[in-house]
Structure 1
Amino acid sequence: MSTYPLSAKLRGAARTSQSATLADLRTTYIDWSYLAIGAIGIALGLALAYLTYALRASTLITALGTVLAYLLVGPALLDRADCVAGFAPSLPALRTVAAAAVSGWKELLTTTPPVTADGPLLAVPFILGLVAAALSLTLARRVRAAALPLAAPLLLLGGAIALGTRSHAPWSATGLATAVLCLSWSALRVRRVQPTAADGSRRHYKPIAAIVVLCIAAAMAALAGPLLPGSDPQNRAVLRDRVLPPLDLNKYPSPLVGYRKYTRDANELWDQTLFTVTGLPVGTPVRIATLDDYNGSVWGATNRAGAAAFLRVGSVITPDAADAVAAPGPTSTVRITIARAYASASDIDVWLPTAGSVTSISFTGADTRQLAADLRYNVASASGVVINGLPAATTFTLHTDLTAPTYSAAPPPYGPPDLTDGFGAQFASRAATWAKGASGLSAQLQAIATYLRTTGAYSDGGPGETQYLPGHSMFRLSGFLNGAQPVGDDEQYAAAYALAANSLGMPARVVLGAIPESDGVVQGKDVHAWVELHVAGGAWVTVPDTAFMPDSTKKPDQEPPQQVQDAAAAPVPPPNAAHPPTTDKETHATHVVPGPLPPGTGGSLAWLLNLLMRIVRFLSPILAAAAIYGAAYALKARRRHRRRTSGPPVSRYSAGWRELTDYARDLGVSVPEFGTRRVQALALAAYDLADLAWTADVMVFGPTDPTTHQAAAYWKRVDEARRAMARASRRHRRFLATLSLRSTLASRARPDAAEGGTP
């Protein structure tokens, strides 16, 4: 084991450089307490690596010690509540830290920054510091390469940046500090590991030259840094923008589909209290769910990677600048209490009512910890989901900015719409008809809203109006759009207006919410659906339901509107059968029970075919690997057969010796390519092949030609020697020898092979 002294000054420089790299996580955590945890990990890793080196233990012991140190020290730092006496690890605490080592990275990347610096989320800086410190000191003690130990802090720096955020941070200062520390450490290590003779005059000039070079490099970095790729925070590539959150919103029904239960004629939740709000100015809307995509059947919420994702939240929520809901303003405190009717509604019980642009959410009560763990919040849509639902009597407090965004006279869109399958395009002709030649996007949107409000009628399917079905699938909206008179409630009007806006190039989404009464109580009758438009600057501006909906007292014509297709409108196809139905009526209308298969169709063997396909899919990686190994084995077996049988007997002696040297190369032995057989036999002295080399030389250069029987006998000895070489090698070397290309490349490099001499 090599020993290379490392002074306390060098260890301090290494520890400082690794702490500087961990500082790049400061935009991820809410305060600097995470850095103390990372520093403990660095100190522990350095102590562990030094101890195992001093005891002359192997690197495997260092690795096992690192894992053991994490399990013993981690509970006191990450889960003190479950520790014995607050610091001794217990079984629950060990389970927590073990799970944090596996899933902590995902939880950190799927939590809205800044993250609260407590609990299992601190496992990431602790593990980074522990592993990087142990690896760097282990390399510094056990290898001679001067710069190789710097790989650990550089990888740590890259990991800290990748796990960070797109928020502005002085990366150049951190990078410069890391570079100076690493270069200084490397220079001192070179002088210790590889001392060189130098006169006194040159010894004084070297530090000055190094300082000058560093100053020049720092100046160039400061000037060129803003021009380099990734300098713009909005274009910086970080892992949290590439990670798709695990929350699957498809398992929750769209809350807009069940809108009719809030209407008077449904007599379900019309007069039932859903929740109570305090601290909210009169007339301020409360958002229940934001639905930003349409799949042909329903408007639903999406969970996309990056800022538009439902993520865990800490004690502070930072709205994304590119998807701001409201302009900055004073923060208000709003308290909301969930009632039994809201908790029992299966389509909305998971949605957290919010108002404005939320900056923090805190629960009160017995289930505070569980509710906080189940909460996922989307800063782009300003909506939250509690994955296991909100129980009755749940109370939570919002710190929120209630400033409403301004709506200009002619707002340009923020970007192109991105609805699934482009369903908004199917409304283009209808939107053009409703706009009646209005010029400009703002005028067209206003004309469409005016047409729907003045021409349409309101119906929630009450007595005498049962022909107006609920739902907002393409099948339902085709009757709403193409009839002589649009008839429906908030569900159909909001869905149609949002699709029409998207067809004109204005990104739009549907919001299900409510406007509380003066006493803060929200009942079913207070629930409405409105539309939000994404305008330039990133703000979502509200188009209230009163702008595009007729008054609820305006009933449809006595004669039911005929479902006549407007000649000026493009036909709207029925929904894709793959999309789920929106109502029970549509479910019974579209469901078809397949009959039994006719005789002779092979239905009785379908299970066997399905089983075989599953087995093939499961074994496909193994079969592919076996196919590659078998092909390599067959090619080398064919080459060996050609060498044994092709050409005159004298050439078979040369080919037999070449078979031995090629097999040795495949086993990883270095054999001179152009040396004589005796030189090659010396390189293969471990296998005792000198007699076979001498026999080949005698037969090739002797006065008489060998016979076929003599060549066959020589090849038997070659086969025995080849088996002995295999037995003397390890099992994995024998396996890799079949896949090795060394002998193939070596044979191509030989002059005789190139000339087509001996096979």
Structure 2
Amino acid sequence: MSVATQTRAGARRSARRTAARWEPLRVVISTAVVWLLLALASTSWWPVYQDGAMTTAAVTAVVAGSVVALGGALARLPAVVVGAATVAAFALTGVPAAVPGEAVGILPSGAGLLHLFAGVALDWKRLVTISLPVGSYESLLVPFFVTLLVATVTSVSVATRASRPELASIPAFVVFGAGVVVGPARLDVSIATAVALAGIALVWALTVRHVRRAAAVAATVGARVPVWRSVLRPALVGTGTIVAAAVVATGLGLVAPPAAPRTVARTDVVKPFDPRDEVSPLSGFRAYEERGTSDAPQLRVTGLPRGGFVRIATLDTYDGVVYRVGGSDDASPSGTFERVPTSVDTSGTTGTDVRVGVRVEGYRGVWLPTVGDLSSVTFTGREAEADRGAFFYDRTTSTGAVVGGVDDGTTYELRAVLPDQPSEDELASARPGTASVPTPTGVPDAVRERAGATGSGAPGSALLDAIRELQRTGYVSHGVGDDRTSRSGHGADRIQELLTAPVMIGDQEQYAVAAALLARQLGFPARVVMGFTAGGDSGGDSGGGAGPGAATSGGTDTTTTFRGSDVTARLEVDTAQWGWVMLNPNPVVREIPDEQDQTPEPVTRPETVVPPPPVEQQDQDQQAPPQSDRTTPPVQPLWLQILLAALPWVLAVLGLAALVLLPSAVVVSIKRLRRRRRRRAPSARARIVGAWDEYRDALLDRGHDVSRAATRREAVVGAPGEGGSGLAALADRSVFGPDDTDDGTADRMWSAATEAVRSLRDGRTRRQRWRAAVSLRSLTGESGWLGRGLLGHRGRPGRRDYHGPEAGERRGRPSEDDTP
């Protein structure tokens, strides 16, 4: 044996020993980098949950996924086995980590497993139709848990088994992007975090690339290369460049954030509750004053402060016919109702914290009576679970709703903040705020004329003057019993009649609407609030000590019974100093003067006003009671009920099947990419070697043992199928022959290789062919495409396929050491 041959053999043995020493270190370093990347990526999910349960789920997913991936790498398990182990780990750890309410200690329960697997398919939509944060509510942690678990298994497997471990950073970007998509519309994810994630991935990829290049050089020259010069120095230079770019990108992102509104999944998804589909509660105002209803209990409230106000709904959209909840989608953020899984953030509200208990008596409707700015609601009645799942809340208008409505016996507890309110003297200096409220349409001329008659003083002073004028000149009549004639409704013609009549007669329904329209003319964002208060703003004892809404005890521990006559409507205006301020524009109840000597002015309906539909102009005797506000869902056909009942199970099975088949699909895709890369090699000689490698990998995947020291002719001895010997001979002639190869030879080699691979499938069952297609032997085996370590090939360190002679190399018959 020549001296050169001995030197090359010694270099190979040295590289092989070096790779063996580096293999454990590679696993440790790669796994640690994957954990760091996944930890950074998981921060994009924190605005969604904001709960310690997310940390528990994250740690569980990373640990379980790492155990599965490292076990698969150590035992060289095929992708199908690793996928099955992932599903088993998901089922074993998913319930305690992602559905803790259904766990039995640290073990899953049957109901928990059902919610766990159904959540893989169903909880994504629920996650983007619920208000944030969700905490550990029901099974909404499942999307995060399954995403992180699959990402961990994939990343650790690629990092420890692939020839390009830097590709393991891709699942971390998927986790980060998924968190942004299902997250809030506001930018809660730090730009610096995103830049850091990309920077670490780039630094890792750069370092691994230089290590791989140094290993190839060491194997080629047959000697060690300096680590500092070949790895550390270029890696540090590249890292410095990446850090500089990251600093510049972070600075630009913080100084010049995007001007366009952020679009995520929850901004485009169709909400399950739309207030525009419901009847305005103000349309049924007079029904509370009917005989038999005015004295009937509606709500029993415990813990409400003296003089407190219970809100039914906030109405901010006026169209000349009716005031309703929620404007058009593009007009304002109002009308966006979301489920409240845990609590509502009221950190920006200054006021008094209260805890109020409510029991529904005669009240009916989809709108849930609340107090102040809601922090949380806890249902305790017999239908508590159903009411909890059907509760929606709009933070913009502080309005709650229960799909299907509430009825007698519904009980719940509210935690809320009563905002501090300015005094009347302070309001005189109030300036209009900047809240977005839909612009009213169909405003009658009388409103503009009265607003123009208030003078040119300060906006706050003009607003107070307009409200005082309503209280001074207005008279209250509900049109019930011996009261004077007072038409119901609050359309433009009714407000025009109210403001132009010689004697202004109406009730809270008309005065609140008129005050809101006047406030808008004076520049204040305004809306109408309907609710209950002791005495109903009728001039009685507002504290609940007398009248229909009498309290049974003093202080904040009172139990107040609100009756139908306690219903009222008020005005809310947005100010620059105090935010939303509630005002009472209603006159006190007093005797209405005689009109027989006064000639009323004719009522002229504005030309621009849309005539109200007949349903809104019912007579007092035909007006619908409060129960009409509750919608009755249509009866669904039997086939649709069966389909909806079976749909969660079908989606869960499909999600489980997709989870099981995902690893196999990845393996098949990688093999297709490998074949494509080989067939499109830049030289004809490289394409011939690639065709041989494709055939050799097919032998490995079908269980044929190919020794790492075997020549091509030795590799096909005893191989199944046909054409192997011819392929080996053609490849040897092309690589070691004296003449250069051409494209035609390469094409013939690939055609022969394709036929040889196809012949390997003859006589095999469908299951055997599938196992060969998803086998990892050719990817992670001793001579596998993905099986090379940091310092070269896992089976043959530093060894690469021979694509042609180097400069000065003598062509001829290969020796045993030179044959791949």
* Paired position in structure 2 for 1:226: 254
1:154 paired to 2:173: yes
1:32 is the counterpart of 2:52: yes
Q: Provide the C-alpha distance between the structure 1 equivalents of 2:89 and 2:621, rounded to a whole number of angstroms.
A: 60
CA distance in 1, matches of 2:226, 2:599: 103
Q: Is the 8 A contact 2:467 2:515 kept in 1?
A: yes
Matching residue of 2:394: 378
What is the match of residue 368 of structure 1?
A: 384
Query: Is the counterpart of residue 205 in structure 1 residue 233 in structure 2?
Result: yes
Equivalent position of 1:302 in the other structure: 326
Paired amino acid for 1:554: I
Q: Which amino acid aligns with 1:12?
A: A
Q: How many Å apart are 1:153 and its aligned residue? A: 0.8
CA distance in 1, matches of 2:334, 2:572: 18
Shift of 1:510: 0.8
Tell me if 1:400 matches 2:432: no
Q: Which amino acid aligns with 1:175?
A: A
Question: Given the alignment of the two structures, is residue 455 of structure 1 paired with residue 473 of structure 2, yes or no?
Answer: yes
Q: Pick closer, same or farther for the CA change 1:425–1:281 going to 2, 3 Å.
A: same
1:114-139 deviation line (CA, Å, top 9, x unaligned): 32324311112202202322343455
Which string of whole-angstrom CA distances, capped at 9 and with x for unpartnered residues, describes residues 348-397 of structure 1?
3x322222222222233444333322222222222211223334343332
Specify the alignment match of 1:260 in structure 2. 286
Give the corresponding residue for 2:183. 164
* Map of 2:370 onto structure 1: 354
**Is the counterpart of residue 279 in structure 1 residue 303 in structure 2?**
yes
Rate the CA distance shift 1:463–1:363 in 2: closer, same or farther, 3 A: closer
Distance in structure 2 (CA, Å) of the matches to 1:552 and 1:686: 102
Shift of 1:289: 1.4
CA shift, 1:207, in A, is 5.7
2:350 corresponds to? 328
Question: Does residue 1:551 correspond to 2:589, yes or no?
Answer: yes
Instruction: State the Cα distance separating 1:103 from its structure 2 match.
Output: 3.2
CA shift, 1:214, in A, is 6.0
Q: Is the 8 A contact 2:314 2:529 kept in 1?
A: yes
Which structure 2 residue ranges, 5 or more long, are not aligned?
1-19, 218-224, 535-543, 546-550, 552-559, 624-678, 681-741, 753-820
Per-residue deviation, 1:64? 7.0
Residue 24 of structure 1 contacts residue 164 of structure 1 at CA under 8 Å; is this kept in 2?
A: yes
- What's the secondary structure of 1:26's corresponding residue? helix
- Per-residue deviation, residues 322-368 of structure 1 (Å, max 9, x unmatched): xxxxx413423x322324212xx3xx3x3222222222222334443
Out of 516, 541, 557, the position equivalent to 1:498 is 516
Change (3 A) 1:484 1:571: farther
- Tell me which of 234, 243, 249 is aligned to 2:275: 249
CA 1:405–1:244: 2 relative to 1, 3 Å: farther
Query: What corresponds to 2:705 in structure 1?
Result: none
Judging changes above 3 Å, is the alpha-carbon distance between structure 1 residues 467 and 35 closer, same or farther for their aligned structure 2 residues?
Answer: same
TM-score, length-scaled by structure 2: 0.61
Distance in 2 of aligned mates of 1:44 and 1:556 = 84
**2 CA distance for matches of 1:256 and 1:447?**
25
> Quick one: distance in 1 between partners of 2:165 and 2:27?
15
**Partners of 1:187 and 1:254 in 2: CA distance:** 63
Find the aligned partners of 2:158 and 2:521 in 1 and give their Cα distance.
61
- Deviation readout 1:552-596 (Å, 9 max, x if unpaired): 543673479857246xx954534365x9646477999xxxxxxxx
CA contact (8 A) 1:289 1:511 kept: yes
Residue 529 of structure 1 aligns with which residue?
569
Task: For 1:371 and 1:284, locate their aligned partners in 2 and report how far apart those are by CA, in whole Å.
Answer: 25
TM-score scaled to structure 1, two decimals?
0.66
CA RMSD of aligned residues (A): 4.2
Alpha carbons 1:313, 1:375 under 8 Å: kept: yes
Q: Distance in 1 between matches of 2:152 and 2:146?
A: 10
Judged with a 3 Å threshold, the aligned counterparts in structure 2 of structure 1 residues 56 and 102 are, in CA distance, closer, same or farther, namely same
Q: Distance in 1 between matches of 2:431 and 2:593?
A: 35
State the secondary structure of the residue aligned to 1:132: helix
1:222–1:86: structure 2 CA closer, same or farther, 3 Å change rule? closer
- How many angstroms apart in 2 are the aligned matches of 1:56 and 1:137? 13
Please name the residue that 2:63 is paired with: 43
Query: What SS does structure 2 have at the residue aligned with 1:111?
Result: coil
Offset of residue 534 of structure 1: 1.8
CA drift at 1:512: 0.8
Percentage of identical aligned residues: 24
CA–CA separation in structure 2 for the residues paired with 1:38 and 1:306: 33
Equivalent residue for 2:448, pick from 410, 431, 441: 431
Change (3 A) 1:243 1:71: same
2:115 aligned counterpart, secondary structure: helix
Deviation at 1:481, TM superposition (A): 4.5
What code does the residue aligned with 2:403 have? I
Cα offset, 1:217, TM superposition: 5.1
Q: Hey, what's the Cα distance between the residues in 1 that align with 2:66 and 2:743?
A: 49
Paired residue type of 2:153: A
- Gapped runs of 5+ residues in structure 1? 322-326, 589-668, 671-677, 689-759
Is 1:316 equivalent to 2:343 in the alignment?
yes
SS at match of 2:281: coil
**Offset at 1:61?**
7.1
1:489 to partner: Cα distance: 1.1
| Amino acid in the other structure paired with 2:444 | F
> Is the Cα–Cα contact under 8 Å of residues 291 and 299 in structure 1 kept in the other structure?
yes
Question: Displacement of 1:43 after TM fit?
Answer: 3.4
Q: Secondary structure at the match of 2:139?
A: helix
Q: SS state of the match for residue 280, structure 1? A: coil
Distance 1:262-1:581 versus aligned 2 partners, 3 A rule: closer
8 Å Cα contact 1:27/1:165 also seen in 2: yes
Matched to 1:288, the amino acid is I
Distance 2:242 2:146 in 1: 32
Contact 1:254 / 1:300 at 8 angstroms: preserved in 2?
yes
Residues 134/150 of structure 1: CA separation in 2 closer, same or farther (3 Å cut): same
- Counterparts of 1:538 and 1:143 in 2: how far apart (Å)? 61
Is the Cα contact below 8 Å between 1:565 and 1:571 reproduced in 2? no
Give the conservation status (yes or no) of the 8 Å contact 1:46–1:134: yes
- Cα shift at 1:300: 1.7
Taking the aligned partners of 1:552 and 1:424, their CA distance within structure 2 comes to 33
Q: CA distance change for structure 1 residues 478 and 461 in 2, over 3 Å: closer, same or farther?
A: same
- Pair 102,201 (structure 1): closer, same or farther in 2 beyond 3 Å: closer
**Aligned partners of 1:580, 1:47: CA distance in 2, in Å?**
67
Please tell me the residue identity of whatever aligns with 2:433: Y
| Count of residue pairs brought into register by the alignment | 578
Residue 430 of structure 1: CA displacement? Answer: 3.0
- Tell me which of 358, 362, 373 is aligned to 1:341: 362
Closer, same or farther: CA 212–31 of 1 in aligned 2, 3 Å: same
Verify the 8 A CA contact 2:180 2:189 in the aligned structure 1.
no
Q: Deviations over 1:129-187 (max 9, x none)?
A: 02322343455567655654322212222322343346786725533553454234324
- Cα distance change, pair 211–679 in 1 and its aligned pair in 2 (3 A): closer
Paired residue type of 1:336 = G
